[in-house]
Amino acid sequence: MLTHVTLRGDFINAAIACTDATGAAIDPSSAEARFYLVSQIDGSLSLDVRIGTDGVLTLAKQAGQTGFWGGAVDIATLDPAQYVILFKAVIGGTTSIAVDFLEIEEDPHLIGCVANAVYSNSADALTVNAWLVDQGRHVADPIDCTFTLYDDAGSPVFSELYSDSPDANGVFRLTKSAPGLSHDKTYYGKVDIYAVSGLYSSLIGLVTVE
């Protein structure tokens, strides 16, 4: 029994090719793929119950081809992870097994940092909102955020602002009272947001008006 596991787009495709003792293609009477999640703590394995039925994907004959069985898994609800996949097929009354491996990786190019800054003349206060988006959707569990404001000479205006308390939508709000900004002047700020998948940055502009 040969196995093949691929990750293409939004789906995992798991397939097997079955042959008899002579090497001729033969259909199994049943076949399945068991998806074991690899623990990042101690390397132990546990069935990922989000896949198939309690971690077991039942395979079916593909494209009417004898011996070619497979199935697909939608990864929309899955996180970046490593899997050991145990294939089991009953061929001619005998159970055959094989093992394969798959890693779902986060594509850092799909995640971006978004931010805006507003300065209130009346309150003499600066407010910065910052968050991450992943393929157009907000990331609800970033870890922390820093913001540094620079003047037109590229020098920091005040000490870096920091927050590790995003709201329920994953948005950080950082404020600075009496930031020492001049009117009718341009500034720019750098935002850094750290998440499980890495560090993401963005630059934003700010113009103060009398």
Q: Could you report the per-residue pLDDT of 83-138, keeping only the tens digit for each?
A: 999 999 999 899 999 999 998 876 655 788 999 999 998 899 999 999 999 877 88
pLDDT of residue 111: 82
d(CA 47, CA 35): 6
pLDDT digits (tens, 9 = 90+) for 129-172: 999 998 778 888 899 999 999 998 999 999 999 999 999 999 99
Domain boundary, last residue among 46, 69, 104: 104
- Identify the CA nearest to 174 among candidates 165, 185, 184: 165
Q: 95: domain CATH number? A: 2.60.40.10
Q: Do 10 and 81 share a domain, yes or no?
A: yes
Q: Count structural domains, the chain.
A: 2
Domain boundary, last residue among 104, 135, 167: 104
Q: Taking residues 43-57, what's their average pLDDT?
A: 94
| CA distance between the termini of the chain | 75
Q: Do 6 and 100 share a domain, yes or no?
A: yes
Q: Which residue has the higher pLDDT, 26 or 111?
A: 26
Q: Which of the residue ranges 32-41, 66-75, 196-205 would you say has the lowest mean pLDDT?
A: 196-205
- Identify the CA nearest to 80 among candidates 104, 110, 46, 115: 104
Query: How confident is residue 53, by pLDDT bands cut at 50, 70 and 90?
Result: very high
Q: Do 16 and 99 share a domain, yes or no?
A: yes
Q: Do 73 and 160 share a domain, yes or no?
A: no
pLDDT of residue 107: 61
> 63 pLDDT exceeds 70?
yes
| Beta strand 125-134 pairing with 137-138 | antiparallel
Q: Do 9 and 86 share a domain, yes or no?
A: yes
Q: Do 95 and 182 share a domain, yes or no?
A: no
pLDDT digits (tens, 9 = 90+) for 171-192: 999 999 999 998 888 999 999 9
Tokens, residue 19: 């042959």
pLDDT of residue 185: 87
Q: Taking residues 3-25, what's their average pLDDT?
A: 91
pLDDT of residue 44: 94
Q: Do 69 and 133 share a domain, yes or no?
A: no
pLDDT of residue 13: 95
Q: Do 97 and 134 share a domain, yes or no?
A: no
Q: Do 138 and 75 share a domain, yes or no?
A: no
> 21 pLDDT exceeds 90?
no
Range of the domain at 95: 2-104
Domain boundary, last residue among 75, 104, 133: 104
- Residue pair 67/17 in contact (Cβ under 8 Å)? The answer is yes
Q: Do 149 and 112 share a domain, yes or no?
A: yes
Q: Do 68 and 157 share a domain, yes or no?
A: no
The pTM assigned to this predicted structure is: 0.54
pLDDT of residue 97: 96
Query: How confident is the prediction for the chain on average, in pLDDT?
Result: 91
